[in-house]
Amino acid sequence: MDKIDKAILKELIKNPKKPFQHISEKIGVAPVTAQARFEKMKNNGAIHGTFSILDLSKIGFQGKAFLLAKASREYDAETAISNIFEIPNVFLISELVGVYDLLVMVVFRNMAEIREIVNKIRTLNTIEKVEVSLTNELNFPLKEEFTEIQLFDN
Amino acid sequence: MEKIDEIDVKILRTLIKDARSKLTDIAQECNISITAVKNRIDNLEKSGVILTPALDIDMSYFGYKHTVLIGVNVDQEHEQEIIKIVNEHTKVAGIDQTIGNYDLCLFVFAKNVKELDKLKQTIRKQKGVKNIEINIWHKMHPKFDNIKIESTKRG
């Protein structure tokens, strides 16, 4: 990653929607170069692209839950993950190292919905135990502050 | 609650995957004019449904090898102090005040285990902290399109 890449990244962190035309003017390279570098950084895995942060509380959701699951003897990650993703509104599963085996993130519209989701996961034969933490924070997929992350120390 | 229709739903589903989606592509997909798309996005931003675009950075590429969920049990009056410390000490993906298993769910990026341990010890020393659990992410499976965004207009 060279100076030009870093300069482009800094601009995109400030404004992920900034047109390549404007980025190129700011840092003094051709627009095609700016775009090519963006694609290069996507290909080499430095960035995955862009996304929008939504406030799901504005469109009918009431809360978000973090479920920590412990595996049973019958556990295999692939089966458990594909079974859990069959449940609507599960938006992220992470395999964990430690006391728990899976972290499941889900948003829900009401208490009945989250109870149903938790019960569904509890009845899977790959899962032994589920613990729940709930929040009414509904910025999705991350909080807005994430966009202010400082990647470079200078 | 904001009123959104099927076209807004389509727009949101597109933008959540790619904030730089071209207006022309969205217009074609929704079968409406580019101006109409632009107006709808403006309205979704104004009403706060769309908060902000974000760059999807791979933190491990930049040396933050570990993504971690730190679950903390702490007296409510001391929660803000913990939040402040975590923001000062490491790169934060999210901090949620929760009820249930944990009182605080901290999602952070750490360069190495040593850094993580230092953070843990620092949190442990704070007033009101009863328990800390570290859960290191080993493999992440996101599936954002599994969220069922639906029209909030009836009929």
Biggest distance spanned by C-alpha atoms of chain A: 59
Residue A154 clears pLDDT 50, i.e. is over it: no
Q: Does A107 touch chain B (CB under 8 A)?
A: yes
How close does chain A come to B82, measured CA to CA in Å? 16
Closest C-alpha to B86, from B128, B115, B56, B44: B115
Average pLDDT over residues A107-122: 96
Mean per-residue pLDDT for B87-108? 92
pTM of the model: 0.90
Interface probe with B: pick from A20, A42, A52, A105, most Cβ of B within 10 Å: A52
Of residues A60, A99, A147, nearest to B152 (C-beta): A60
A 108-137 residues with CB below 8 A of B? 131-135, 137
**Does residue B34 surpass a pLDDT of 60?**
yes
Interface of A with B in 29-48 (CB under 8 A): 44-48
- Chosen for mutation from A133, A144, A151 (greatest number of chain B CBs closer than 10 Å) is A133
Q: What is the pLDDT of residue B28?
A: 96
- Nearest chain A Cα distance for residue B145, angstroms: 7
Which chain A positions have a beta carbon within 8 Å of B71's beta carbon? 68, 133
ipTM of the complex: 0.91
Angstrom distance (rounded) from CA A13 to CA B115: 25
CB A62 within 8 A of CB A112: no
A51 closest CB neighbour out of B16, B105, B139: B16
Please tell me the predicted confidence (pLDDT) of residue B89.
87
Cβ neighbours of B102 in A, within 8 Å = 66, 133
Q: What is the pLDDT of residues A3-51, one digit of tens each?
A: 999 999 999 999 999 999 999 999 999 999 999 999 999 999 999 999 9
The pLDDT, as a whole number, for residue B125 is 94
Are the Cβ atoms of B56 and A137 closer than 8 angstroms?
Answer: no
pLDDT reading at A149 higher than 90? no
Q: B91: nearest CA in chain A?
A: A149
| Distance to chain A for B125, nearest Cα, Å | 22
Q: Which residue, chain included where needed, has tokens 């973090």?
A: A66
HEC assignment per residue over chain B: CCCCCHHHHHHHHHHHHCCCCCHHHHHHHHCCCHHHHHHHHHHHHHCCCEEEEEEEECHHHHCCCEEEEEEEEECHHHHHHHHHHHHHHCEEEEEEECEECCCEEEEEEECCHHHHHHHHHHHHCCCCEEEEEEEEEEEEEECHHHCCCCCCCCC
**pLDDT score for A8:** 95
CA distance A83 to B4: 31
Please report the pLDDT score of residue A147 as a whole number: 73
Which pLDDT tens digit goes with each residue over B58-71?
999 999 999 999 99
Cβ distance of A52 and B53 shorter than 8 Å: yes
Q: Provide the pLDDT for residue A153.
A: 61
